[in-house]
Amino acid sequence: MEDIEWIGHASFLLRIKGKNVYIDPFKLDSVRDHADIILVTHPHFDHFDVESIRKVADKNTLVFVPKEIVDKVPVGKATGVEPNKKYSALGIEFRTVPAYNVVKERLDKHPRQNDWVGYIINVNGKLLYHPGDTDFIEEMKGLKVDIALLPMSGTYTMDVNQAIDAAKAIEAAQYIPMHYKMVLGKDGSRKAEKLFKEKVSKAVFLEEVQEAKYSF
């Protein structure tokens, strides 16, 4: 998957049409490639990391964020986004989808009314779904993409069992877990990976470019 690098946590670097597109850059260390486009799903510190944005962006970087944090983008040209909209930047097409919690004990973590987002991006002819921080929600049912990135940490997002249910509801060629190692730790991550692999036939596990610090 030369077009997709899992930096770590929910942070990815996509290489599209010769451009570098970051999603939720967080704690960037070894990855310092210049950002042409940055997509942010929501304002939480592990997704909207101002210092990481400063490391890779310049005045020409196009930064897409939920509307409430447009004025907090430290560098670049900021655009506010909302769910269920289509966008285009530097010839790259993407659209937003809702991201929110439905499980009772975490309804306050990512409320639906906040209008936070996930993204579906055209990566050199393949559709990649980055759902942001979310539970398994209605909008996932019947979704058709080539690659589905799925958080499975529990606590803030769907857990591994819900991620498995989401994979069954989404039509994709590959299902890639994310957003779990820093929350579950080494042992918990191994158990989650084992279960996901057993239940999802098209599961793919990427290696992190930056190894997770198990202290989230």
pLDDT of residue 33: 96
Q: Is 35 helix (H, G, I), strand (E, B) or coil?
A: coil
Mean pLDDT in residue range 39-62? 97
Calpha distance 21→168 (Å, rounded)? 28
The bridge status of strand 126-130 relative to strand 147-151 is parallel
Mean pLDDT in residue range 68-83? 98
DSSP for 86-121? Answer: EEEETTEEEEEEE----SGGGTTTS-GGG--EEEEE
CATH number of 4-199: 3.60.15.10
pLDDT of residue 1: 64
pLDDT of residue 76: 98
Tens of pLDDT, residues 182-212:
999 999 999 999 999 999 999 999 999 997 7
pTM score, two decimals? 0.96
Nearest in space to 34 (alpha carbons), one of 47, 9, 15: 15
Mean pLDDT in residue range 109-128? 96
Q: Output the average pLDDT for the chain.
A: 95
What residue segments make up the domains of the chain, in order of their start?
4-199
Tens of pLDDT, residues 145-194:
999 999 999 989 999 999 999 999 999 999 999 999 999 999 999 999 99
pLDDT of residue 215: 58
DSSP state letter for 207: P
